Amino acid sequence: MATSSTIVHNVYLPADAIPTAETRIKLADRILISPLVLGTWAWGDTRIWNWTPESDPKAKDAFDISISKGINTFDTAEGYGNGESERCIARYKENHPAATDIVIATKFFPTPFKLFYPSSLISALRESLARLKVECVDLYQIHGPIHLRSIEVIGDALAEAVKLGLTKTVGVSNYSTAEMIRMYDCLQKHGIQLASNQVEYSLIRRLPETSGHIAECHKRGVAVLGYCPLGMGGLTGKYSRANPPPGNRKCSRINMDELEPLLETMRSIATKRNVSVSSIALNYVICKGVIPLGGAKDGNQAEQNAECLGWRLTNEEITELENHPINRQPTFFESIWQHG
């Protein structure tokens, strides 16, 4: 909900704007999201993020602190923890005095065996709504371009979800520029604006920027949401040559010797600005016209992430960071899953 102090920008934060707790980005002319989104991939996930019953109150702290810092948007998916991430959000927002106005984005996992549309998508969306304990979600996204049916069939199903009042806006994830344009064109025929494309974007994966994908999205009024802006922990300053990340993370496949010069630069800027290393990574993404999805498993991580608000990297600082490019080759799975 916008107030008299809310500063609204369309699709992305312009180059002369400072991201603050009062800043909101308008998507598809319908929803207002914070310039930093809380990503909840880790909530309920036992395979990669080692979720346990003891993790639950810590994640609740991350939820509460994020709201207190002006972050109103939470990104989840039916596939996160087999739906547990969605259930976490439902639990955490119960009886929270400020949680009535939060924005919830979730995703449909379009496995190849799902062939019947719009029924497959609509039934999955209704199940997500039940887990989230809401009647309508703010943003419903296709999780990845792995569906066997055409983009137009999927787009028609998304349009049906909007017409049924089950979601306010619709988006995609991991789509290439060509795929994004096809989805945009399909939805336009229904009079619906494609709200967003969610892609991996960070200091260690700049492909959406260097390929021109971000510019093509913005040209059409499509916001770009950046997942893994912290490199799955690799850009938080927590890990080093002496303390490498655990094995199931993307950042664990990066040579820490190669990453160390970038981390040293990030630490230097963070020290000068009296902010966390994580906030340097997140502010960088914001400066590039992308809305970062910063993950947080506990209150401390949420606090560190929120330090990216209230200031903006200078052009000189951005150049310093970009002077340490990382050459990370995609895995076979990533080449199938990530087109954008």
In the chain, the percentage of residues whose pLDDT exceeds 70 is 96
**12 catalytic, yes or no?**
no
Query: Rounded CA gap, 97 and 165, in Å?
Result: 25
How do residues 35-75 score in pLDDT, each as one tens digit? 999 999 999 999 988 999 999 999 999 999 999 999 999 99
d(CA 306, CA 275): 10
CA atoms of 71 and 268, how far apart (whole Å): 26
Q: How many domains does the chain have?
A: 1
**Higher per-residue confidence, 222 vs 258:** 222
Grade residue 154 by pLDDT with cuts at 50, 70 and 90: very high
Please report the pLDDT score of residue 240 as a whole number.
72
**pLDDT averaged over the chain?**
94
Q: What is the pLDDT of residues 296-330, one digit of tens each?
A: 999 999 999 999 999 999 999 999 999 998 877 77
DSSP-derived letter for residue 49 is: S
Mean pLDDT across 172-182: 98
- 112-148 in b/e form (b: 16+ CB < 10 A) is eebeebbebbbebbeebbebbebebbbbbbbbbbebe
Report yes or no on 1 lying in a domain.
no
Residue 66, domain extent: 7-337
pLDDT beyond 60 at 186: yes
> How confident is the model over 140-165, as a mean pLDDT?
97
From the candidates 80, 184, 227, 284, which is the catalytic residue?
Answer: 80
pLDDT at 116: 93
CB 194 within 8 A of CB 184: yes
Four-residue CA torsion sign, 178, 160, 36, 245: negative
Please say whether the beta carbons of 263 and 197 come within 8 A: no
| pLDDT score for 259 | 92
Q: What is the CATH number of the domain that holds 245?
A: 3.20.20.100
Give residue-wise pLDDT tens across range 15-31: 999 999 999 999 999 99
Residue 73 domain-assigned (yes or no): yes
Whole-number pLDDT of residue 323: 97
Nearest to 72 by CA among 35, 125, 114, 124: 35
Task: Say what the pLDDT of residue 257 is.
Answer: 82
Write down the pLDDT at residue 247: 59
Confidence band, pLDDT 50/70/90 cuts, at residue 252: very low
In a domain, residue 2? The reply is: no
